[in-house]
A = this chain, B = another copy of it.
Amino acid sequence: MKVTVVGANGQIGKQLVRLLKESGHTPIAMVRKQEQVDEFSKEGIESVLADLEGPVSDLVEAFKGSEAIVFTAGSGGSTGLDKTLLIDLDGAVKTIEAAEHIGVKRYVMVSALQANNREKWNKDIRPYYVAKHYADEMLIASDLDYTIVRPGGLLNESGTGKVKVAENVEKGSIPREDVAKVLLEILDAANTYRKSFDLISGEKPIKEEIDKL
């Protein structure tokens, strides 16, 4: 499947792009800078330049030929809340609009644990949750075949391949590598269409947890 990864240069994005390639998909790494294009190119990975702060028409152009979009971009902890609004919320919604416009039905969103549950938002980063929550809400309101994945605290350690997937998990963490593996697993799993779930490390193999959805 030809899959555009939005935020391919991010820590989850990079791992996902490689996993996609290894598993026979055709990843398109959407990135903002020419140097990132060059880096992916060295690995034999196709990429496309586009900016989430640019017009929707640029994203439509970038998505041409894709069969699925995975949104794993994030403004990151080091930028201001202007970027939280412009990237995590409006940028995400622009990609939804572009996908709808061009008829790419399959859309996977990387959200955040409990982003759907206002009462559980960590006080220190509530504004970030607001942005993620409404991006998710706009996706739910779309007619795309979406899956919203809400991982817990992201770790850089190696994945275990064992996770817990549930509608409502209060807290937990998960290696980024396992998040990337879950994204790969659900990509063409029709049983995950129009569903959202929390995701943390757990006891069960990824496929088993996904199959039960």
Contacts and interface: CB of A to CB of B under 8 A. Distances in A.
A126 B118 CA distance: 24
B90 A130 contact: yes
Nearest to A81: B81
A174 interface: no
A86 interface: yes
A85 B119 contact: no
B126 A86 contact: yes
Interface in A40-70: 55-56
A-B pairs, top 10 by smallest CB distance, nearest first, are A81-B81, A85-B127, A85-B130, A82-B127, A90-B130, A134-B134, A141-B141, A89-B130, A81-B82, A86-B127
Q: How many subunits of this chain does the assembly comprise?
A: 2
Interface residues of A, number: 23
A60 to B, nearest CB: 14
A181 B55 CA distance: 36
A138 interface: yes
B90 A85 contact: no
Interface string A109-142: 0000000001100000011001101100110010
A80 interface: yes
B85 A81 contact: yes
A196 interface: no
A11 to B, nearest CB: 24
